[in-house]
Amino acid sequence: MGQSAEPATCTVDFEDAIRQLSGPLYRRALSLTRNGADAEDLVQETLLKAYRSFHTLGEDPRLLAWLTCIMRNAWINAHRASSRRPTEELSGDVDDLEGGRGAPSAEHVALQGVPSPALASALSTLPESMRQTMYYSAVEGLSCREVATVMGVRPGTVMSRLHRSRRHLRDALHGALP
């Protein structure tokens, strides 16, 4: 038995809705996977899952937050599955300190764009959850509610993490910046 096809209007609406979101989705996937090929795979998997459920969205959906939540859950599931398997590394992917042949992580690239080495250093000392919260809020410009949806936490948790992150950065940078 074949699968029932979705109406053509759903396909057009879906394509129109995600066309402008491909760049932000890829950047978010790259920040999670830290590998270009894996980021492309994650975006593709995210869009496939979103397409299957697109018809369930109501009026005025927060599409970017919804897609980011799907992406984060897909990445977590893939990460859990891969943690059960033995580690596999290709010799070309290994980044030796002298040659530097491996691709830099998205986080490393973003921190290189920070004008102050002291600020980049302070950001890198934040715990992962706080650093992700700051990234989604400050870099991607998501609201606290959208960040909460993406990270699967309450909005109050997001506000608390932002407050603690800013306090940590203030303390770390006190006297370090001109």
Query: For 23-82, what is each residue's pLDDT tens digit?
Result: 889 999 988 888 888 999 999 999 999 888 887 776 666 888 889 899 999 999 888 887
Q: How many helices (H) and strands (E) does the chain have?
A: 9, 0
Tokens of 60: 């005025």
The confidence score (pLDDT) of residue 74 equals 92
Q: Is 3 helix (H, G, I), strand (E, B) or coil?
A: coil
The confidence score (pLDDT) of residue 117 equals 73
Instruction: Verify that 140 and 110 share a domain, yes or no.
Output: yes
The confidence score (pLDDT) of residue 102 equals 56
The confidence score (pLDDT) of residue 110 equals 57
Tokens of 114: 């920070």
Residue 170 has, within 13 A of its CA and on its CB side, a CA count of 6
- Which DSSP symbol is given to 135? I
Q: Say yes or no to pLDDT of 4 above 80.
A: no
Instruction: Verify that 79 and 109 share a domain, yes or no.
Output: no
Instruction: Verify that 110 and 77 share a domain, yes or no.
Output: no
Length of the chain, in residues: 178
How many structural domains is the chain composed of?
2
Inter-residue contact 66 to 57 (CB < 8 Å): yes
d(CA 114, CA 166): 16
Question: Does a structural domain hold residue 152?
Answer: yes
The CATH number assigned to the domain holding 128 equals 1.10.10.10
The CATH number assigned to the domain holding 78 equals 1.10.1740.10
Q: Say yes or no to pLDDT of 153 above 90.
A: yes
pLDDT by residue (tens digit) across 104-115? 555 555 555 556
More confident residue, 99 or 78: 78
Domain that holds residue 115: 105-173
Average pLDDT, the chain: 77
More confident residue, 33 or 87: 33
